[in-house]
Amino acid sequence: MSSKPKYNSNVLALIPARSGSKSIKNKNILLFAGEPLLGHSIRQALLCPHITRVIVSTDSKEYAEIANHYGAETPFLRPNSISLDHSTDYEVFNHALRWLATKEGSTPSICVHLRPTHPIRTTKQISDAILLLRKHPHWDSVRSVIPAPESPYKMWFLSNLNELVPVIKTKTREAHSHPRQRLMQTYLQNASIDVIRSKTILEKNSIAGRRIGAFLMNQFYDIDDAADFNRAQNAFLNLKEIPRNRTFVVDIDGIIAGIVPNNEYSKARPIRKNIAIINRIYKHGNRIILFTARGSITGKNWEYLTKKQLSSWGVRYDKLLFGKPAADYYIDDRMISLNELASIDWAL
C-alpha cells in the first residue's frame, strides 16, 4: 500500500484465532464454561458500546464458522504464512488492516486486540481501555498490565560461562539483594486487552509504538497450557452472582430486530449486540419469552417469517408470543433496558 492509508472513525475489535496450537490442541475453540474460548471474546466485543465492528482473523474454515455463529465477521482467511507458532501480532494486524484498506477503501482508526486465550475480562474494562487511549492522543497504544508478582531486579540471565548476569542494570548497588519493598514496582502485560491506533501499525510498523499507556488490571488468566485452563475456568465459575430463574419478556422489533418502515418485517436486520445480551441471559438459567405486535393491525400472519429470522440470527428463547404476557422483567423501550442489563456484565 504505497499511499497513506485512509482512516475512518470505526473501532475494530480484532480477535486472532489460529488453529495450530501446540500446547492444547484446538485451544481457541476448546469449550470453556460451556462455550468455545473464541465465543467469550466475541461476545464481550459485541457488548462493548465503543466497538463498531468485530472481526476474527483465523486460518481455519471451521473456526470461521464458529466465529460467525457467535456474531463476528470473518471476511478473510488468514494466510498460512502468518499463522505459525512464531507469527507475530504485528503480522496479523498488519494483514487485516491492509486487507480492509484494499477491499473496502479505508481502515478503522483504532484496533482492539482481544485474545481468546484470556476469556476473563469485562465489557467495562474494554470500554475503559478504549476511552483511555482516546483521552491521550499522544499515546500510540494502551496495553493492559498487572503488578509483576516477582521483581525483575532479582532475576538473572545465565551466561555461556555459567555465570549470573542481572536482567536489569541499575545504578542501585546490588539491587538484587535489597528488600522488594525498596525496589521500583514493575508491571507485567497480562494479554487481556490491547488498544492500538491503526496508524501505529500501518505507519510506524509496530504493534505498540513508542508511547504506550498502561491500563491497570488485577488478574492474569492467559491460557497457555492445561493448568492455566483449569485455573481460569475455576475463577470464571466463581464470579459474582447474577439474576437466575427469572422470566424476561423481550420485544422483538426495536430490541432484537431493527425497526423497518411500513411494517416490512422481511427486511428487518438483527441487532447483534442485543442478541448477545439476551442469549447470555438465557444461558444463565432465565426464561426468555419473545413477543411482537407484528400483524396486530393488518391481521397478516408473520409467524413463519419471525421464527425463521430468530433461528437464522441465533436467538435463544423459550416461547414466541404475538401479544404481551406477564413477566418479571420487560425489555422494551418502556421498561428495563438492555443497557441496564449490560451493566450487570452478562459478558462474564
Asked if the domains at 7-148+185-234 and 247-343 fall in one CATH topology, the answer is no
Domain spanning 247-343, CATH class:
alpha beta
d(CA 82, CA 312) in angstroms, rounded, equals 33
DSSP class of residue 57 equals: E
DSSP class of residue 318 equals: S
Strands 247-251 and 287-291, by their bridges, are parallel
d(CA 270, CA 27) in angstroms, rounded, equals 30
pLDDT (0 to 100) of residue 335: 45
Residue partners of 227: CB distance under 8 A and separation at least 6: none
pLDDT (0 to 100) of residue 20: 81
The cell 487511549 sits on which residue? Answer: 133
Cell numbers found for residue 331? 425489555
End-to-end CA distance of the chain: 40
| Phi, psi angles (nearest 5°) of residue 256 | -95, -40
Taking every pair of Cα atoms in the chain, the longest distance, rounded to a whole number of angstroms, is 88
Give bridge partners of residue 329 from the DSSP assignment.
248
DSSP assignment string, 278-298: HHHHHHTT-EEEEE--TTTTT
| SS3 state of residue 153 | helix
Residue partners of 179: CB distance under 8 A and separation at least 6: none
pLDDT (0 to 100) of residue 339: 54
The cell 499511499 sits on which residue? Answer: 3
pLDDT (0 to 100) of residue 132: 98
pLDDT (0 to 100) of residue 330: 59
Q: Is the CATH code 3.40.80.10 the one for domain 7-148+185-234? A: no
Q: Kindly tell me the burial class for residue 223, based on how many C-beta atoms sit within 10 Å of its own C-beta (0-12, 13-18, 19 or more).
A: buried
The candidate with the shortest Cα–Cα distance to 52, out of 102, 94, 8, is 8
The structural domains of the chain, with segments of one domain joined by +, span: 7-148+185-234, 247-343
pLDDT (0 to 100) of residue 327: 58
pLDDT tens, per residue, the chain with 348 residues: 556 889 999 999 999 999 988 788 899 999 887 789 999 999 999 999 999 999 999 999 999 999 999 999 999 999 999 998 899 999 999 999 999 999 999 999 999 999 999 999 999 999 999 999 999 999 999 999 999 988 899 999 999 999 999 998 888 888 888 887 788 889 999 999 999 999 999 999 999 999 999 999 988 999 999 899 888 887 876 654 566 777 888 889 888 998 888 888 999 999 988 898 888 888 888 899 998 988 877 888 999 999 999 999 999 999 999 866 555 555 554 445 555 555 555 555
Please count the other Cβ atoms lying within 10 Å of the Cβ belonging to residue 145: 18
pLDDT (0 to 100) of residue 334: 42
